[in-house]
Structure 1
Amino acid sequence: MTALVTGAAGGIGQVLTERLIGQGYRVLMLDINGESLAGCKARFGDAVTPVVCDLTDPASVEKARHEVGETVTTLEVIVNNAGFIVPGPFIAAKADAIEKQMQINLLGPLRVLNAFLPLMTTNGKVVNVISMAGILPLKDSSVYAAGKFGLRGFTISLALELRERGIKVSGIYPSSVDTQMLQMEARNGGSPLNFLAEPLRPETVVDAIMRAIREGKLEYYVPYGDGLLSRIASAFPWSIAHLLPRFEKKGLAGKQRYLAKIGKGIN
């Protein structure tokens, strides 16, 4: 069995790769960071095939497809895990930051699936790691939310398209996860609402991904309670501006604790 994982050299990606190997999969590890991929190859050995791939570049994705196609003829699992954010108010956003977020968070998964779905077997599984931001938007994350909302819509539509082929499509919606990306957010103006609760461990998200691979349900919320509250709030968009500020004080305290944990106080 073969699985493809994007963002595979990151915190969630490496934990997921290890778990997939433990379930008997050979893993195609796609990531832009060649140095980190080399470290993964040294760690996991012949169970993985590292592939340097820039999701913002259609030619790079196509090159990865041809490179993989020389040795892989079928895929059982595709996990779009890569993500990217530049937090801050939209009015101050740089054009290249807007472009990169949309390329990685929305167009990247579409490119990967457009290139690699023809290799997928009947009864295959597609898992898109989206974010609670694909359900409930936060201020200063507007471009990130746009990409994740788009990815949620795509995921639901694709699930309808692939049903007749026996391929199941799932979306994973985690709250904040303790990764390098969250650490960057904490240090650079990320929303304090990301820190209302202790950030999730990557292993917790991987648990949900593995459940999706086994079960193939459409959506998984991590934790479920956050997903339920987010869906209720998003059903009444006008309420969000009134509800979220009430939680900011608690979020700021959580953010201070998190910054102290990772070695830097609030700027």
Structure 2
Amino acid sequence: MTEIEGAVALVTGGQRGLGRAFVDELLRRGASKVYATARRPVAGADPRVVPLALEVTDPDSVAAVAGVAGDVGIVVNNAGVLHPAPLLTADIDDVRATFETNVIGPLRIAQTFAPILAANGGGALVDIHSVLSWVAGGAAYGASKAAFWSLTNSLRLELAGQGTQVVGVHLGFADTDMVKGIIAEKISPAGVAEAVLDGVAKGELEVLVDDLTRQVKAALSGPVENLAVRIR
């Protein structure tokens, strides 16, 4: 388990949507400082929140953030993009950008911050996946989240020796700007952050946020044709 009270955390994509909910919940639980990243960060009123510019697809940008945030004990890999076009008609550049941001970006964060977490006692790496990691129909976004899930499971093994808790998070659609054009039942970002940080505090390695996600995971042993969803 990872102690949140008094901890220093980093949340990628931490100035809007789900990322902002994580920042708020970390502070509510007593985190002493939270680095909240964005491509174009904006300063806020709370002195415990440190805004940092970050582009997860840019190695120099990630290195610059690590140079500032050397006291981090919790890293939330939250930044992501969504291109909903069907795979057969999607612009390949959009597909490539999706994987660069949703897969390579989080891996770059993990590689860069692993030694920092080790130096600070192990801490926690929290990776935000999706129920679309497990079902077809999520286009490039779903494919990237499936890859991210696999990446997280391997990172958990590789980081075990340094005592880092690696938490994989799966959820349906949170009610954020990124998915405002998608017709689906949505859950509150605050509720997601609360459930995830409960899991971090309890030492869990996987958090299934909502009933839909729990139902889909339970169905993984069934026929593959039953694992499908359409983004509308």
TM bracket, shorter-chain basis:
0.7 to 0.9
1:16 and 2:17 are equivalent in the alignment: no
Letter in 1 for 2:219: A
Cα offset, 1:142, TM superposition: 2.4
Q: Give the secondary structure class of the aligned counterpart of 1:203.
A: helix
1:212 and 2:214 are equivalent in the alignment: no
1:48 and 2:54 are equivalent in the alignment: no
Decide which of 234, 238, 243 is 2:220's aligned counterpart: 234
Determine which structure has greater relative contact order: mean sequence separation of CA pairs < 8 Å that are 6+ residues apart, divided by chain length.
2
Match of 1:189? Answer: none
Q: How does 1:32-181 map to 2 (within 5 A)?
A: 32=39, 34=40, 37-38=41-42, 41-44=43-46, 46-66=47-67, 68=68, 72-120=69-117, 121-137=120-136, 139=137, 141-181=138-178
Match of 2:36? Answer: 29
Letter in 2 for 1:21: L
Q: Distance in 2 between matches of 1:215 and 1:233?
A: 26
Q: Distance in 1 between matches of 2:61 and 2:70?
A: 19
Q: Give the secondary structure class of the aligned counterpart of 2:191.
A: helix
Cα offset, 1:65, TM superposition: 2.1
Cα offset, 1:237, TM superposition: 4.8
Cα offset, 1:238, TM superposition: 3.1
Match of 2:179? Answer: 182
Larger mean CA deviation between 207-216 and 96-105 belongs to 207-216
Cα offset, 1:55, TM superposition: 1.2
Letter in 1 for 2:189: P
TM-score after normalising by structure 1 = 0.77
Match of 2:4? Answer: none
Q: Distance in 1 between matches of 2:198 and 2:130?
A: 16
For structure 1, the residue ranges without an aligned partner over 5 or more in a row are 187-191, 256-267
Identity %: 27
Distance 1:12 1:238, change over 3 A: closer
Letter in 2 for 1:155: T
Q: Distance in 2 between matches of 1:232 and 1:182?
A: 25
- Runs of 4+ in structure 1 over 3 Å off: none
Q: CA offsets, 1:92-135, max 9 Å, x none?
A: 11122111111111111101111112111224011111111112
Q: Give the secondary structure class of the aligned counterpart of 2:170.
A: strand
Letter in 1 for 2:109: V
Q: Distance in 2 between matches of 1:83 and 1:73?
A: 23
Decide which of 208, 215, 229 is 1:221's aligned counterpart: 208
Q: Distance in 1 between matches of 2:32 and 2:151?
A: 26
Q: CA offsets, 1:112-169, max 9 Å, x none?
A: 11111211122401111111111223x2x22112211111111111112222222110
Aligned residues: 223
Decide which of 7, 21, 32 is 2:13's aligned counterpart: 7
Tell me if the contact between 2:114 and 2:159 (Cα under 8 Å) persists in the aligned partners. no
More helix by share: 1
Q: CA offsets, 1:53-82, max 9 Å, x none?
A: 11122222122222x1xxx43321000111
Tell me if the contact between 2:25 and 2:194 (Cα under 8 Å) persists in the aligned partners. no
TM-score after normalising by structure 2 = 0.88
Q: Distance in 2 between matches of 1:51 and 1:213?
A: 24
Please tell me whether Structure 1 or Structure 2 has the larger radius of gyration of its CA atoms.
Answer: 1
